[in-house]
Amino acid sequence: MYLLDTNHCSQAILGNTNVLLRLEYIENSVITTCAIVQGELIDMAERSQRKESNLVLINRFLTGIYIHNVDGFTATIYGQLKAALFNQFAPKEKSKRRKTKITDLGFDENDLWIAAVALQHGLTVVSADSDFQRIQQVRTLTIESWL
């Protein structure tokens, strides 16, 4: 089963041939995304010049795939993942460590949530974002890019 990240959802919506061919090759029942990606797509549409038409395209696309929600178990995985990334990548000196944010380490907060959903449900993350590859240094996460 696959969890499409925002970049692959938006490329599918825009008609990217590689992504569309891969989606046709794989059964629709195994293609999913999550509420975090849904929120990112809606944010992009809301801030675009073609807000209404983009919202229609996004809603049409999302209607065809399962959307995983975030729950308490997801939050536990997220917290464990974030702590593991801090232990691996943050400064070891306590005074510097306290001031360090996850974004300072090159990770997007939403990508950690997306990874947590994928880990919770045993999904392959389909993304072109490099921070998912770095997450593999602390947790086993299967990643593909169709771009």
As given in the structure block, the two tokens for residue 51 are 């807000």
Residue 98 has pLDDT above 90, yes or no: no
What's the mean per-residue pLDDT of the chain?
95
As given in the structure block, the two tokens for residue 74 are 């997801």
Residue showing tokens 């999302």: 62
Q: Is-contact 114 5, C-beta < 8 A?
A: yes
- DSSP state for residue 130 in the 8-state scheme: T
- DSSP state for residue 44 in the 8-state scheme: H
State pLDDT tens for residues 22-57.
998 886 569 999 999 999 999 999 999 999 999 999
The class of domain 2-144 in CATH terms is alpha beta
Give the model's pLDDT for residue 29.
Answer: 60
Element (H, E) at 3: strand 2-4
| 97 confidence band (pLDDT: 50, 70, 90) | confident
Which residues lie closer than 8 Å to 76 by C-beta, 6 or more apart? Answer: none
As given in the structure block, the two tokens for residue 127 are 């993304």
Give the model's pLDDT for residue 80.
Answer: 98
Over residues 103-110, mean pLDDT: 95
Give the model's pLDDT for residue 51.
Answer: 97
| 96 confidence band (pLDDT: 50, 70, 90) | confident
